[in-house]
Amino acid sequence: MTENDSSRTPQTASRARNRFDMGLTLTTTRQGRKTLLKDSTYDTPTRSTSDVAELLKLGAAVEADDKENSSEETGAHAAAGQDIYGFQRRVVRKRGASSLRGRSTRGRRGGTVKASRGRPSKDAENEDDDDDEEEEPLVPTNNGSSSDEADGADSAYAEHLDFAQTGPTYERYFQGLHTTRAPKTSDNTLSKLPTQSLSETHAILKSVPLKHKHELQLLESLHRRQFRQWYFELSNKFNLVFYGYGSKRRLINMFASQCSDAPVVIINGYFPALNLKQTLEKIASEALELSATGSVADIAALIHGYFESKSREIDHMYVVVHNIDGLCLRKHQAALSVLASSPRIHFLASVDHIEAPLIWDTSSITKFNWIWHDLTTFEPYTVETSYENLSTETKKIGPRGVLHVLASLTENAKGVFRVLAEFQIAESIMDTKQSAEMPYNSYFTMCRDQFLVSSETTFRSQLTEFRDHKVIQSRHTPDGTEFVFIPLPSSTLETILESM
């Protein structure tokens, strides 16, 4: 051996010793105590070759001990994470696998805590990957305590299922939104209810006992004391209008029966098929002996002129209008105001609609010259509602229902209805014995000539709308010809056309 070789041996041993010092300077955890493992023999400047093998064995033993201690430290970190965040990981264990092996815990923010010495080995990485494949998402626990055994995870999962069934109401509500159970509905419909006829309805209403009988009699006596006041106001060229809750028909008729110094005309404005033109014609022909023709405004002006003339045979007249705000009279307020403007025509009227004053403009109010009286009676509207369909049986539509349907349709659809209504009125005047029906082809031709429809498809859609509401009906003859008609009398059709 040369000097150079002898001089390199201590340097080589020193570098080897430094490498072993770097690999064996470890910090491990055993039952919470930290120990610094460092061989004191490395402090000597020289070393024999046999000591290297002993050091390698010692390093392997320390590495094995380090792995065992790392698993204990990992469990301690996992328990701390459970105490802080209240979460744990459920591990799916394979059959035959130990409950303590193959588990992995998650530290803060979902990170997996791993204890290793130096660089991890490939076997350790493979074991970690296998553990990640068998892991399931985190589930919340009911308490902050944790357990390192699999029995704790199973019990926590059972508690989670129990919470889903018996938890707070708001939690079960949101879970119920995602259930696949069919909603519980009933097969009961309104059509399955027993029908009730109109006679049964009236019988039930009559059987209702009268309440506060003595108080109502007292109230009526107070109203009857006002009859002289009402007569005084009428004689001074004022007209009276009565409002209030309850039917006012009986008391007003009672007052009108005491006005025996002149003819009394009573107009029932609540009648759904009221025709004011025919009513004024009867007043002019029967009471005043005049031949009246023309529109409603013309006949009203004729009657007004009669009482202004000096050659009149009747000095004055009383006109009583029940429900002057009725549906059939709302468009004839101008004609009625012409009658009320005459100082020799004494006008008495009643209103029941809460917005009745809105039907009069400033000119009409000036002509009516009203004095308002509260006539609350609390009496039922038996006569006023006698024309309403209060039963549950399916019947023909009435004039009020027809007007409601027409109010929601277009002008062309209203024109289609007008064509058929005018045809039926004309046919009823010429032949009253036979029902007025119109062939389908003639009906379509007349509507097309008046530019109400452009094609038969449009005409069919209009008829479907009327048929659905039972406004227009049709029938087929044995030879296949289709006839259409409106199931209402001609007088009612005239009232509807005037209201349109």
Task: Quote the percentage of the chain above a pLDDT of 90.
Answer: 31
pLDDT at 238 over 50: yes
Mean pLDDT to the nearest integer, 107-126: 45
Residues 275, 277, 281, 287, CA torsion sign: positive
Please, are residues 265 and 287 in contact by the beta-carbon 8 Å criterion? Answer: yes
Please report the pLDDT score of residue 106 as a whole number: 44
pLDDT at 258 over 70: yes
Strands 370-374 and 438-439: unpaired
Query: What is the band of 251 on the pLDDT scale with cuts at 50, 70, 90?
Result: very high
Query: What is the band of 167 on the pLDDT scale with cuts at 50, 70, 90?
Result: low
pLDDT at 119 over 50: no
In residues, how long is the chain?
500
212: left (phi over 0), alpha (psi -120 to 50) or beta: left
Per residue in 280-339, pLDDT (tens digit) is 999 998 888 888 888 899 999 999 999 998 888 899 999 999 999 988 898 899 999 999
Cα angle 53, 54, 60; round to 5:
90
Please report the pLDDT score of residue 378 as a whole number: 93
- Choice between 5 and 57, residue whose per-residue pLDDT is larger: 57
292-299, long-range: CB < 8 A, 24+ apart: 296/332, 296/335, 296/498, 297/334, 297/335, 297/338, 299/335
pLDDT at 382 over 90: no
Taking alpha carbons only, the member of 362, 341, 333 closest to residue 269 is 333
Q: Poorest-confidence range of 87-91, 359-363, 366-370, 425-429?
A: 87-91
pLDDT at 92 over 90: no
pTM over 0.95: no
Please report the pLDDT score of residue 236 as a whole number: 93
Residue 42 CA to its chain's centroid (Å): 89
Per residue in 137-151, pLDDT (tens digit) is 444 444 444 444 555
Please, are residues 93 and 143 in contact by the beta-carbon 8 Å criterion? Answer: no
Mean pLDDT across the chain:
74
